[in-house]
Amino acid sequence: MLHYTYLLINFFAVIVCFIFSFHPKIKFNRFFVPFIKSAVLVLIPFIVWDAWFTRMGVWWFNDTYLLGVRLLGLPVEEWLFFVCIPFSCVFTYFCLDKFFELDWKPKIDFYFSVLAIVLCLVCALLTVALIYPFITFLLTGLSLVYLKFIAKVSWIGKLSFVYTILLPGFFMVNGVLTGTGLDQPIVNYNSDHFMGIRIGTVPVEDAVYGYMMILWNIYFFKRFSEKYQ
């Protein structure tokens, strides 16, 4: 039964959102196609990054909790993670945006975005010797630069607020993956490559990594779902 652990984590992370996506007041099922398109687009670079770091030994996976099927050196459950978690996050963003007025004033969104960019780039400079936080903070900062100043999106503050709401659930899921409640972690981290700051059992870098992943999922989801409105 232990071999199904990671698979069950993915299942329980997505099943409630999936069921409610068919609710007549939500009708998120109408947006499954744009979600799948956005998830696949974002999945590709993240899988490459994941496979690279796995090969380098930045992190690795405990076979005790896996089915044993691997693609590009990654457990199939890890591939599903990049679909299940974005689905729940995009669904939550969609619902909150649909039923509540969450838009930020343009100036506030602009200043928040600039602050987030500066913080990410400063953190990248401070962790240049540690590959996981350095790349995570750098790419998140550059992602924000692109989204705010090139794509000119107006929802970074709103998405950041929703992501903050989602963080407890994020830490619950990642907590189990990193060893909370288990005899051993499912995902192990090489202490030579990250800051060593954890919230519970979760490296703080994971929260930034997840934030960047959701930024791009929302960006492409909005692009692809325009004709479904």
Confidence of residue 223 (pLDDT cuts 50, 70, 90): very high
Determine the Cα–Cα distance for residues 26 and 86; give it in Å rounded to an integer.
17
Confidence of residue 75 (pLDDT cuts 50, 70, 90): very high
Confidence of residue 9 (pLDDT cuts 50, 70, 90): very high
Whether 133 contacts 195, CB under 8 Å? yes
Task: Give the three-state DSSP class for 145.
Answer: helix
Per-chain mean pLDDT for the chain: 96
Dihedral Cα 90, 96, 101, 107, nearest 10 deg: -40
Q: What is the pLDDT of residue 229?
A: 60
Determine the Cα–Cα distance for residues 229 and 19; give it in Å rounded to an integer.
21
User: Is 227's pLDDT higher than 80?
Assistant: no
Confidence of residue 1 (pLDDT cuts 50, 70, 90): confident
Provide, for the chain, the percentages of residues in helix, strand and coil under a 3-state DSSP scheme, each rounded to the nearest 5.
70, 5, 25
Report field, pTM of the whole predicted structure over 0.85? yes
Summarize pLDDT for 102-146 with one digit per residue, the tens: 999 999 999 999 999 999 999 999 999 999 999 999 999 999 999
Q: What are phi and psi of 220, to 5 degrees?
A: -70, -35
Domain boundary assignment for the chain? 2-101+166-228
User: DSSP E strands: which ranges in the chain?
Assistant: 59-61, 70-71, 74-75, 187-189, 198-199, 202-203
User: Mean pLDDT across the stretch 66-87?
Assistant: 97
User: Is 163's pLDDT higher than 80?
Assistant: yes
Q: Which helix (H) or strand (E) holds 10?
A: helix 5-20
Q: What is the pLDDT of residue 159?
A: 98
Q: What is the pLDDT of residue 228?
A: 66
Summarize pLDDT for 24-49 with one digit per residue, the tens: 999 999 999 999 999 999 999 999 99
